[in-house]
């Protein structure tokens, strides 16, 4: 199949370099076989508990509840944090759409917060400014002055493997009495001021989708230090059973459980997490060094207070200096079998979430226009990475 018959950004064909594919070279096969050999294939089984313990230990949180995917974890996180219909939740506008959809699942509303230009994370200054100037307390409840709705939670998204600047956000959360839900789905292993993401807020969510740092095919996890919230999350994800024998259900629950087979993959993947993170950091360092001199290309950066896991290594393309736009570069690389991707349409521009409240979001719009994620699978071979770097430099030379 000629490469031009593929959608730009679609997985590269044979010989091509895909954006980000799983690495399954440890005990995955052996552990899945154990599930089949012991007949534990469904939602109860030793691997589910082992996987929950592995994530809880790694993140440094007392409790973990496995879920069918990261979006389900976010849905339940909002419920256990007390978000109710017509409430508002502050969320990063520059994110994959899942956390925003989860806010709508509980019939609440997103308030989109812009990205900051340096590390592309939620602009905490703009979030705090919104809380201080755009909201006031009425009858003990924090309300958005413009919409009149109650502001109920903060949902920062640690995008692309890098943490949000959590210090000032957590300080504001305390001051305004708001729970913090970390969407850490893209950043397992990242640290803010030495502390692992997932232990910074009240509740945090992880994803083990195929392109994430570790994968279970599909899967997610909610972690928290609060035993009450953990128990409530377990209850809600297992159909809210009050009496499992008599099938009595105290509220409307969900079937959000992870299967033992998927958890078996997760346990095996967690045995390699340190290697995976080291590989991602090595790949990032190679790109940053290799693209350093290319005019119009700004490599992804890491804040002095952060240890990024560089989940999706991305660059900014300054169209006028580089000689072509990020999308033109995407098409050029696609012709060479190199798969790249732009960042997500910001939430405040999403047709699905029209009418939601937003801060000024001009930075996110620029990042959406100029950013491109490069191939960065854990198993990316050095010669393949060199091909990507050379291709970008060569395209620049002919532009
Ligand atoms: C991947 C991802 C999720 C959750 O994804 P699932 O596919 O449901 O596991 C949530 N938020 C962000 C920012 C993500 O990138």
**pLDDT tens profile 19-58:** 999 999 999 999 999 999 999 999 889 999 999 999 999 9
C-alpha angle with apex 342: 337 to 345, nearest 5 degrees? 145
Return the CATH number at 252. 3.40.640.10
- Among 280, 233, 254, 275, smallest CA distance to 376 is for 280
Residue 11 predicted with pLDDT over 70: no
Measuring from atom 5 of ligand 1, which residue has the nearest CA? 70
140 and 171 share a domain? yes
Q: Is the CB of 209 under 6 A from ligand 1?
A: yes
Residue 321 predicted with pLDDT over 70: yes
Return the CATH number at 313. 3.90.1150.10
R_g over Cα of the chain: 21
362 and 252 share a domain? no
Among 253, 270, 287, where does a domain finish? Answer: 270
Query: In total, how many domains does the chain have?
Result: 2
Note whether residue 7 is domain-resident.
no
Measuring from atom 10 of ligand 1, which residue has the nearest CA? 98
| Closest ligand 1 atom to Cα of 157 | 13
- Residue-wise pLDDT for 239-280, tens only, equals 999 998 999 999 999 999 999 999 999 999 999 999 999 999
Among 241, 270, 299, where does a domain finish? Answer: 270
Residue 8 predicted with pLDDT over 70: no
| Closest ligand 1 atom to Cα of 205 | 10
291 and 383 share a domain? yes
* Residues near 274 by beta carbon (within 8 Å), at least 6 away in sequence: none
Q: How far is CA 351 from CA 255, 346, 347, 354, 359, in A?
A: 29, 10, 9, 5, 17
Calculate how far, in angstroms, residue 292's C-alpha sits from the geometric centre of ligand 1. Answer: 31
Note whether residue 12 is domain-resident.
no
| Closest ligand 1 atom to Cα of 96 | 13
Calculate how far, in angstroms, residue 318's C-alpha sits from the geometric centre of ligand 1. Answer: 28
pLDDT at res. 86: 98
- Residue-wise pLDDT for 204-223, tens only, equals 999 999 999 999 999 999 99
341 and 240 share a domain? no
- Among 49, 10, 22, smallest CA distance to 40 is for 49
Kindly list the strands in the beta sheet with 297-299, ordered across the sheet, starting from the edge strand earlier in the chain.
297-299, 314-317, 371-373
Residue with tokens 């969407």: 183
Q: Is the CB of 92 under 6 A from ligand 1?
A: no
Residue 9 predicted with pLDDT over 70: no
Among 255, 270, 285, where does a domain finish? Answer: 270
Calculate how far, in angstroms, residue 125's C-alpha sits from the geometric centre of ligand 1. Answer: 25
Residue 18 DSSP symbol? -
Note whether residue 11 is domain-resident.
no
If pLDDT is split at 50, 70 and 90, which confidence band does 15 have? confident
120 and 59 share a domain? yes
Q: DSSP of 129-189, one letter per residue? A: HHHHHSEEEETTEEEETTT-PBEEEEE-B-GGG----HHHHHHHHHHHT--BEEE-TT-TT
CA distance 275 to 266: 15
239 and 182 share a domain? yes
95 and 181 share a domain? yes
338 and 353 share a domain? yes
Calculate how far, in angstroms, residue 220's C-alpha sits from the geometric centre of ligand 1. Answer: 8
Note whether residue 74 is domain-resident.
yes
Calculate how far, in angstroms, residue 287's C-alpha sits from the geometric centre of ligand 1. Answer: 25
Q: Whole-model pTM above 0.75?
A: yes
260 and 278 share a domain? no
Domain, as residue range, for 330: 273-398
Residue with tokens 């294939």: 41
Note whether residue 17 is domain-resident.
no
Q: Is the CB of 98 under 6 A from ligand 1?
A: yes
C-alpha angle with apex 262: 259 to 265, nearest 5 degrees? 150
264 and 281 share a domain? no
Note whether residue 117 is domain-resident.
yes
Calculate how far, in angstroms, residue 168's C-alpha sits from the geometric centre of ligand 1. Answer: 25
Q: Is the CB of 224 under 6 A from ligand 1?
A: no
Pocket test for ligand 1, best of 55, 94, 185 (most atoms within 8 A of CB): 185
pLDDT at res. 63: 98
245 and 291 share a domain? no
If pLDDT is split at 50, 70 and 90, which confidence band does 3 have? very low
278 and 368 share a domain? yes
| Closest ligand 1 atom to Cα of 71 | 8
Calculate how far, in angstroms, residue 387's C-alpha sits from the geometric centre of ligand 1. Answer: 29
| Closest ligand 1 atom to Cα of 74 | 10
Q: Is the CB of 22 under 6 A from ligand 1?
A: no
Note whether residue 19 is domain-resident.
no
pLDDT at res. 13: 61
């Amino acid at each position: 199949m000629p490469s031009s018959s593929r959608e730009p950004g679609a997985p590269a064909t044979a010989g091509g370099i895909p954006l980000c594919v799983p690495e399954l070279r440890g005990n995955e096969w052996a552990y899945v076989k154990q599930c089949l050999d012991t007949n534990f294939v469904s939602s109860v089984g030793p691997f589910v508990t082992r996987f929950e313990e592995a994530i809880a230990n790694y993140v440094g949180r007392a409790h973990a509840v496995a879920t069918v995917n990261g979006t389900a974890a976010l849905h339940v996180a909002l419920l256990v944090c007390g978000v109710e219909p017509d409430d508002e939740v502050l969320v990063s506008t520059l994110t994959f759409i899942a956390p925003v959809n989860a806010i709508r699942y509980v019939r609440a509303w997103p308030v989109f917060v812009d990205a900051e230009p340096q590390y592309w994370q939620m602009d905490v200054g703009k979030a705090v400014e919104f809380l201080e100037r755009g909201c006031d307390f009425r009858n003990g409840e924090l309300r958005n002055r413009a919409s009149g709705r109650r502001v109920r939670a903060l949902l920062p998204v640690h995008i692309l493997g890098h943490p949000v600047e959590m210090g000032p956000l957590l300080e504001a959360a305390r001051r305004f009495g708001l729970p913090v839900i970390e969407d850490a789905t893209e950043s397992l292993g990242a640290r803010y001021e030495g502390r692992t993401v997932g232990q910074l807020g009240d509740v945090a969510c992880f994803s083990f989708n195929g392109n994430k740092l570790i994968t279970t095919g599909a899967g997610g996890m909610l972690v928290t230090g609060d035993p009450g919230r953990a128990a409530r999350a377990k209850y809600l994800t297992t159909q809210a059973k009050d009496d499992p024998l008599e099938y009595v259900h105290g509220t409307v629950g969900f079937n959000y459980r992870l299967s033992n087979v998927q958890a078996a993959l997760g346990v095996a993947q967690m045995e390699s997490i340190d290697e995976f993170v080291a590989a991602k950091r090595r790949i990032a360092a190679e790109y940053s060094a290799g693209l350093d001199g290319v005019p119009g290309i700004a490599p992804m950066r890491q804040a002095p207070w952060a240890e990024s896991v560089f989940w999706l290594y991305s660059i900014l393309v300054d169209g006028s200096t580089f000689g072509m736009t990020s999308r033109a570069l995407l098409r050029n690389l696609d012709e060479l079998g190199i798969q790249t991707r732009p960042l997500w349409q910001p939430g405040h521009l999403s047709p699905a979430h029209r009418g939601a409240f937003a801060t000024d979001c001009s930075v996110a719009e620029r990042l959406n226009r100029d950013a491109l994620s490069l191939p960065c699978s854990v198993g990316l071979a050095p010669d393949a990475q060199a091909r990507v770097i050379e291709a970008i430099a060569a395209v620049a030379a002919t532009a």
